[in-house]
Every structure is written in structure tokens, then in C-alpha cells.
């Protein structure tokens, strides 16, 4: 049956994106939300935030909230706001990624030095590698293990430190064009996280990994969500800052630069025209390339969407950049990947091939090339 592939009329989000929806104008839900935010009365949400922070603010100098950070602009911004505008005492938590980059390490150090207490969690390396590799091969998610840990390990830490309030940055589903389920919810629960972020694959992955019998339960400590028993009736509030305040990642960059000494890469990142975000781990390039092969849009499309929605660029301008940068094989760190996954280049490329959507792409001279022109509706 013929299927139409099309792009948002305002930004360049593709119809292939999971859980995306479009209105009668052809605007995607991320752009509709952007419009809504312009006239949204933020006061009640701000009041909610004040009430929340007032309720949990420490009275004895202890930590009263957790902010998961990578050293990048978003976590830094949230931590900064909680500390300096809401009088909280945040504990910043980083789950160490598998292949961390020097610039990321430097930015994390700069962030900490700018005045934040911090815990650096290193989940079991072997377990991380197995989960990442499994995720890469079986799901096309090259840092699947880390994606689990940034939720599970953080929530576990919240539980252990008895800090019930966790502030993540943006709700990516709402801000960038996914499920709008949580648009009007200040926080979500563990069930939602498992369902939406892990696309239902969480249990499957664990089962598979156990079946292979190579990791023990204790090695998976930081990858397991707190059980009901462990929670023992306690609530952990998994909140998104983007619910309480208009999420503006460029603003976050400016604040992080000015107050947390955030540094940028000297050149643009692979696959895009920006140099100031996602500088913490090498696997990100691979992650976005897989996204490109699966769905037809890459990092440049994502970044362009952000620029369009914040009024810095228009769709036509963005198309030029998408054409230039989206299709970017992650050449930069290929040796690191092969070494990490213990794979040959051929094996590695075979995995990539598995995920290339052949309705959208064809191989030309050994490279996957789009059959489509970004922005131009076509039928498969």
C-alpha cells in the first residue's frame, strides 16, 4: 500500500518520526506546542514550581533536589535556576557515558567548579558495554544501556539519598514532536518512562541479556529501576523543567556559557551546524546516524527545528543546512566504536545496514543515500 512521506510545513520534522502528529495546516505537534507556548499563561505552572520547591526546600542545608547533568547546557541551566532563582540546594548527578569526550569532561568539571555538589555514577562497565552493544545490534540504539541508566540510576540515587524531587530538562516528546501525552503534566511516573522512553523494549532487553547469562544481578544494579518494594510507598517526582518554564535550549546555552563556563567545540559537530551541544560522548554521533537511517532525518534536521521554532531561521534556510549536513556517516570516532563493541568494520556496517530503511535510502558506492529530497513530499 502506498504511503506518503511528508514534512512539517513549519519546521522540517518528518512524518516518519515516532508518535508525531500534524494539524490541518500540516504543522507538527512540536510547532503547534511552540505556538501554544506563546500565549500560554505560565503563571499557574510557575506557581506549581514555587509550591514544589517550597515544599521540598531543605531546612537543614541538605540536598533537596537532584538534577541529572552531563556538563552540557541543559542540565547546567536547570541546576543554575534551581540554585540561584529558587533557592534550592541541588545535587547534580552524572551517569558516566561509555565513550566520554575530553570536551565533555572539561565542561562537566567547569560546571562543578562553578558551584555545584556532584555525584559521578559509573555503572558497571561490563554491564554497560553489554547493554549498549545489545541495544546497538538488536534495536539500533547504540547507547541503550546508558539511556536506561540515566533514568534508573538517577532514580535509585534519589531514593538512596532520600531526595524525592528530580528535575530533568526538557520533555523531548513534547518539545520535539513525539507523544503529547505528558504535555500538561508536571511530572511522569516510572511506567510512562518505561513505555515511552524505552518504547516498551526495556523488559525485553533485560530478559535477553539475562538469557545470555553474562551479567549478574548485582552488575545490573544501576540499570534497574527501583522496585515497588524498594520504593516502599515513597514517591519520586520525575519532573521536567520544560513543563514549568518555556524551554529554550539556546537560552540554556547562553546561561551555561555565562555562569557555568560551558565551552564549545572548535568546529561544528558531525551531522550539524552547531558546536555547543551534545559534546559529552562519542556514541551520540552514531545514535543520530542510526536515527537518520531509520527515519530519514538526522541531527541537522533536529537542530534546524529548534532554530526555526525559536525564530532564528526560516524553513527555506533550514533546508539548505539539512541538505548539507544531515547525511553524515559517523566517521569521526569509528575506531572508538569498533574497539568498544569489539566488532570489525564489516560487522559494524552490517548492523547499520540492518537499520537503513530501504524505502528511504539506497546504497550508492557503499554509502547510504536518500532517495528523497528533504522537504519534498514523496510516496513509498
Q: Which of 183, 158, 207 is nearest to 32 (CA)?
A: 183
322 binds other proteins (CB under 8 A): no
Stretch that binds other proteins, among 63-71, 96-104, 315-323, 351-359 (CB under 8 A): 315-323
**Residue 317 beta carbon to other proteins: minimum distance, rounded to whole angstroms:** 5
316 binds other proteins (CB under 8 A): yes
∠ CA 201-350-338, rounded to 5°? 85
Give the separation between CA 28 and CA 304, rounded to whole angstroms: 14
- By C-beta, is 45 or 251 nearer to other proteins? 251
Q: Which of 221, 310, 356, 380 binds other proteins (CB under 8 A)?
A: 310
321 binds other proteins (CB under 8 A): yes
**How far are the Cα atoms of 56, 69, 307 from residue 82, in angstroms, in the given order?**
12, 13, 26
Task: Provide the CB-side half-sphere exposure for 62 (13 A, CA).
Answer: 9
- By C-beta, is 185 or 323 nearer to other proteins? 323
9 binds other proteins (CB under 8 A): no
257 binds other proteins (CB under 8 A): yes
**How far are the Cα atoms of 140, 251, 269, 277, 368 from residue 273, in angstroms, in the given order?**
24, 17, 7, 11, 21
- Restricted to residues 262-281, the positions that interact with other proteins (CB under 8 A) are 264-268, 273-276
- By C-beta, is 217 or 316 nearer to other proteins? 316
320 binds other proteins (CB under 8 A): yes
- Restricted to residues 195-214, the positions that interact with other proteins (CB under 8 A) are none
Q: Which of 40, 46, 51, 312 binds other proteins (CB under 8 A)?
A: 312
Q: For residue 96, what is the DSSP state?
A: -
250 binds other proteins (CB under 8 A): yes
Q: How many CB atoms lie within 10 A of CB 42?
A: 12
C-alpha cell read off for 324: 548539507
C-alpha cell read off for 124: 558497571
# residues near other proteins by CB under 8 A? 24
Phi and psi torsions of 162, nearest 5°: 60, 45
Stretch that binds other proteins, among 40-48, 117-125, 183-191, 314-322 (CB under 8 A): 314-322
Residues 6+ apart with CB under 8 A from 226: 152, 155, 156, 159, 190, 236
110 binds other proteins (CB under 8 A): no
Q: Which of 137, 131, 143, 133 is nearest to 350 (CA)?
A: 137
Stretch that binds other proteins, among 96-104, 126-134, 181-189, 312-320 (CB under 8 A): 312-320
C-alpha cell read off for 134: 545489545
37 binds other proteins (CB under 8 A): no
Stretch that binds other proteins, among 94-102, 116-124, 191-199, 261-269 (CB under 8 A): 261-269
Using an 8 Å Cβ cutoff, are 235 and 56 in contact?
no
347 binds other proteins (CB under 8 A): no
Q: Which of 314, 353, 376, 377 binds other proteins (CB under 8 A)?
A: 314
Give the separation between CA 106 and CA 71, rounded to whole angstroms: 8
**Residue 91 beta carbon to other proteins: minimum distance, rounded to whole angstroms:** 30
**How far are the Cα atoms of 140, 196, 197, 237 from residue 200, in angstroms, in the given order?**
14, 7, 8, 21
**Residue 115 beta carbon to other proteins: minimum distance, rounded to whole angstroms:** 22
Per-residue b or e along 234-243, where b marks 16 or more CB atoms closer than 10 Å to that residue's CB = eebbbbbbbb
254 binds other proteins (CB under 8 A): yes
Stretch that binds other proteins, among 114-122, 307-315, 329-337, 361-369 (CB under 8 A): 307-315
Q: How many CB atoms lie within 10 A of CB 120?
A: 11
Q: Please report, as ranges, the residues that interact with other proteins according to CB under 8 A.
A: 250, 254, 257, 264-268, 273-276, 307, 310-314, 316-317, 320-321, 323-324
Amino acid at each position: 500500500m502506498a504511503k506518503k512521506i511528508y514534512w512539517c510545513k513549519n519546521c522540517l520534522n518528518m512524518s516518519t518520526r515516532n508518535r508525531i502528529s500534524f494539524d490541518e495546516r500540516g504543522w507538527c505537534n512540536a510547532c503547534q506546542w511552540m505556538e501554544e507556548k506563546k500565549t500560554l499563561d505560565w503563571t499557574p505552572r510557575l506557581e506549581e514550581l514555587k509550591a514544589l520547591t517550597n515544599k521540598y526546600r531543605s531546612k537543614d542545608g541538605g540536598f533537596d533536589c537532584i538534577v541529572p547533568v552531563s556538563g552540557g547546557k541543559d542540565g547546567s541551566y536547570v541546576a543554575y535556576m534551581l540554585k540561584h532563582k529558587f533557592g534550592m540546594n541541588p545535587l547534580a548527578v552524572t551517569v558516566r557515558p561509555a565513550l566520554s569526550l575530553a570536551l565533555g569532561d572539561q565542561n562537566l568539571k567547569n560546571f562543578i567548579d562553578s558551584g555545584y555538589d556532584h555525584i559521578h555514577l559509573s555503572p558497571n562497565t561490563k554491564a554497560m558495554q553489554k547493554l549498549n552493544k545489545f541495544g546497538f545490534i538488536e534495536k539500533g540504539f547504540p547507547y541503550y544501556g546508558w539511556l536506561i541508566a540515566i533514568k534508573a540510576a538517577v532514580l535509585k540515587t534519589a531514593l538512596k539519598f532520600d531526595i524525592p524531587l528530580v528535575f530533568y530538562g526538557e520533555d523531548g516528546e513534547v518539545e520535539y514532536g513525539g507523544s503529547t501525552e505528558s504535555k500538561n503534566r508536571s511530572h511522569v511516573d516510572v511506567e510512562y518512562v518505561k513505555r515511552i522512553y524505552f518504547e516498551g523494549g526495556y523488559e525485553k532487553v533485560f530478559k535477553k541479556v539475562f538469557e545470555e547469562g553474562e551479567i549478574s544481578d548485582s552488575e545490573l544494579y544501576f540499570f534497574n529501576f527501583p522496585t515497588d518494594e524498594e520504593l516502599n510507598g515513597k514517591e519520586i517526582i520525575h519532573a521536567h523543567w520544560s513543563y514549568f518554564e518555556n524551554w529554550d535550549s539556546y537560552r540554556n546555552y547562553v546561561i551555561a556559557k555565562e555562569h557555568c563556563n560551558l565551552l564549545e567545540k572548535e568546529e561544528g559537530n558531525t551531522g550539524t551546524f552547531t558546536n555547543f551541544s551534545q559534546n559529552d560522548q562519542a556514541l551520540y554521533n552514531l545514535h543520530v546516524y542510526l536515527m537518520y537511517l531509520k527515519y530519514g532525518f538526522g541531527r541537522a534536521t533536529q537542530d534546524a527545528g529548534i532554530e526555526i521554532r525559536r525564530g532564528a531561521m526560516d524553513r527555506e534556510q533550514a533546508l539548505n543546512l539539512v541538505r548539507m549536513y544531515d547525511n553524515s556517516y559517523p566517521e569521526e570516532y569509528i575506531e572508538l566504536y569498533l574497539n568498544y563493541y569489539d566488532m570489525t568494520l564489516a560487522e559494524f556496517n552490517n548492523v547499520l545496514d540492518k537499520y537503513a530503511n530501504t524505502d528511504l535510502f539506497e546504497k550508492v558506492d557503499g554509502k547510504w543515500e536518500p532517495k528523497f529530497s528533504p522537504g519534498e513530499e514523496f510516496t513509498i
